[in-house]
Amino acid sequence: MRTKAFALAAASVLVLSVQAAFAQAPASPPPAWHQGKPPALAESKLAPLAGKMTETPASEIPISKLKLPKGFKAEIWASGLVGARAMTMNDDQTKMWVGTRGIGRVYEVSNEGDKRTVKVLAEKLTQPTSVYANGALYVFAIDKVLRYDNAAKGATGQPVDMTAAFDLPKEQHHNWKYVRFGADKKLYVPFGAPCNICEPPTKEYAQIRRYNLDGSGKEVIATGVRNTQGFDWHPKTGELWFTDHGRDWLGDKGPEDELNRLSKPGQNFGFPYCHAKGYVDPDLAKGNKNACKDVTMPVTTMGPHAAVMGIHFYTGSMFPKEYQDVAFVARKGSWNREVKFGFDVVTVKPSADGKSAKVTPFMTGFLEDPKTAKFWGRPAYLAQLKDGSLLVSDEQLGAIYRISYSAPAKK
Amino acid sequence: MLLVLRKGRWALLAALFICGAQAQVPERANACAACHGADGNSALAGTPSIAGQPKVFLENYLVMTREGIRGSQVMQGLLKGMPDKDIVALAVHFSKLKSKPNEEKADPKLFGRGKDIAAKNRCASCHDTGFRGKEQMPRLAGQREEFLAEVMLQYRQNRRPGGDTMMNAALHGIPEADFKALAHYFSRLK
């Protein structure tokens, strides 16, 4: 989610738990309202798009409006998950957990083959996400980490409070977290810049960290990362690829969102001085010839204000061969743009050397009129089922769609 | 509680009367009417008017309050377990009612000062032209004066949990006297 510093904050409502708010000293947030918005855009009425916080029955989801390449089909796999974002599953995929933002819930979905049932596992949390790791379910809210042990057959019992071990900074803005469990048995956790454009208030922000499962061994593996909302490891190289949102209030053209590749720990990805492929920040680095020095450039840019979310490298056997190891990326869609952009899932095909990539729209139809911002859904995250079909969560309608493929019959 | 309910019934009757043909008042609106006014314009100090608020704003507020994430304890209690469809019905209902501004004579000096402060802080960039609100952003025009002033102060002091943190930042550094001027100005707009 791209924003004006603290100010033109979240599209969905950002949440403080009651206790946390009262416990907090009334420290004032930085005076960020005007930051990053040039005089030329002073009268702009652009604001984050409203999310939908009430349930949408499956019968009201216009699934037939979705467009996919030939042979692909989309169906509603689950619904009633208001504000659905990142998905995580147990090993046999009989259970899925889905986090949210403003509504503060983590859902548990039971996958019973031909149908799904949904229950609220945890609630009243500040923008929670979840990740299944080593038989346990970890819930990461902005101010809390909870661990449900023995989640292999569904999370039960009271969670263990792991908050103290993870050293979470307090700012909420851009700090909803996408969390993954790596092959190295570590948890990968991002900490966004708490502003549209600023020198982060402390060194705890604009970075990706990894931790051991118990919170020990904290290591910052990427810096200069404004707001990553998703990552995945390349199936062949094992490198971490991550999405990152470009800053706002520099007009319809960008700077564009990024798709980055971490080839070694410790790389710097440019925020707040260098955006996209060498776009020098006019507020914080104007005229600075070294703004992009030692900055790792993105593999590809992903479109202006596109709001790139989840990424998933396809490794299944259902889709045609040309999709093998191709990245699917959800673009939730822009708000800080007069003509809306994104609201789709694209494929990103890396070049042989992995240094560039081709971006092609794959799933479209959510955005009906870019000029009037008429849209009905906002694709957010991706997950792959064992049969090779691909799931896409829609944060706007609180639903999960399943994309399957069958070769068109030869005539 | 009984008293509130009884008052609520009368308020509902009044609402039915006022709305005339618009007879499809959600059943649960009577509980709202007791405090927020039968026509959604509150006559109670400290209680906001809800007439003419954007539907999305009302929905979001009601859902978040039901979830126990924001709102007062009274509101949380009233909304506990309310299904989404009832919340949507209430939001539709109150969003369609007409907001009435404060009819008391404005202090021209204070009104003018409020207008200037609102322009300087670009309140209309989200709360929309005429401060009538849009989508998730509430209407300020015609809202109760003391409510607006108090809410702005609560935001600035981080005492209003569960809302959007952008308001905390937007009001950063603005003195309380300016909130009073803003509230005076907004409350008298149609």
Supply φ then ψ for residue A240, to 5 degrees.
Answer: -85, 125
List the single residue in A with minimal CA-CA distance to B168.
Answer: A29
pTM beyond 0.95, yes or no: no
pLDDT for position B23 = 46
Contact A104 B67 (CB under 8 A): yes
pLDDT for position A15 = 32
* Domain count within chain B: 2
Interface test with A, best of B57, B128, B164 (most A CBs within 10 A): B164
pLDDT for position B98 = 95
pLDDT (tens digit per residue) in A299-333: 999 999 999 999 999 999 999 999 999 999 999 99
Cα gap A264→A9, rounded to integer Å: 32
Residues B32 and B86 in one domain: yes
Residues B156 and B87 in one domain: no
Residues B6 and B75 in one domain: yes
pLDDT tier, B81 (very low <50, low <70, confident <90, very high otherwise) = very high
Weakest mean pLDDT among A46-55, A233-242, B155-164 = B155-164
Residue B154 in contact with partner chain A when CB distance is under 8 A:
no
Sign, CA torsion B155/B159/B164/B165: positive
**What's the mean pLDDT in B125-131?**
91
Long-range CB pairs of A140-145, under 8 A, 24+ apart, other chains included: A140/A177, A140/A179, A140/A189, A142/A168, A142/A172, A142/A175, A142/A176, A142/A177, A143/A17, A143/A20, A143/A168, A143/A170, A144/A168, A145/A215
Domain, as residue range, for B71: 2-96
pLDDT greater than 60 at residue B1: no
Joined tokens for residue A385? 């089922």
Residue B63 in contact with partner chain A when CB distance is under 8 A:
yes
Instruction: Tell me, yes or no, whether B101 lies in a domain.
Output: no
pLDDT for position A4 = 38
Cα gap B29→B43, rounded to integer Å: 16
Which superfamily does CATH assign the domain made up of A18-23+45-405 to? TolB, C-terminal domain (2.120.10.30)
Instruction: Tell me, yes or no, whether B102 lies in a domain.
Output: no
Instruction: Tell me, yes or no, whether B103 lies in a domain.
Output: no
Instruction: Tell me, yes or no, whether B136 lies in a domain.
Output: yes
Residues B73 and B150 in one domain: no
Cα gap A131→A189, rounded to integer Å: 11
The CA-CA-CA angle for residues A129, A135, A136, to 5°, reads 40
pLDDT (tens digit per residue) in A227-271: 999 999 999 999 999 999 999 889 899 899 999 999 999 999 999
Find where tokens 């593996």 sit.
A221
Cα gap A134→A34, rounded to integer Å: 45
pLDDT (tens digit per residue) in B39-72: 999 999 999 999 999 999 999 999 999 999 888 8
pLDDT greater than 90 at residue A28: no
Task: Provide the Cα torsion A170, A231, A132, A394; round to 10°.
Answer: 90
Percent of chain B with pLDDT over 90: 64
Residues B6 and B91 in one domain: yes
Q: Rounded to a whole number, what is the distance in Å from the CA of A378 to chain B's nearest CA? A: 17
pLDDT tier, B162 (very low <50, low <70, confident <90, very high otherwise) = low
Residues B92 and B112 in one domain: no
Residues A196 and A249 sit within 8 Å (Cβ to Cβ):
yes
Cα gap A77→B22, rounded to integer Å: 39
pLDDT tier, A411 (very low <50, low <70, confident <90, very high otherwise) = low
**What's the mean pLDDT in A77-103?**
97
Find where tokens 């979830």 sit.
B67
Count of CB atoms within 10 A of residue A201's CB? 15
Q: Cα(first)–Cα(last) distance of chain A, in Å? A: 47
CATH number of residue B136's parent domain: 1.10.760.10
Q: Rounded to a whole number, what is the distance in Å from the CA of A348 to chain B's nearest CA? A: 34
Q: Which residues 6+ apart lie within 8 Å of B65 measured at CB?
A: B71, B75, B76, B79
Q: What is the DSSP letter of A388?
A: S
Residues B17 and B91 in one domain: yes
Residue type, A82: V
pLDDT (tens digit per residue) in B3-27: 444 444 445 444 444 444 344 678 8
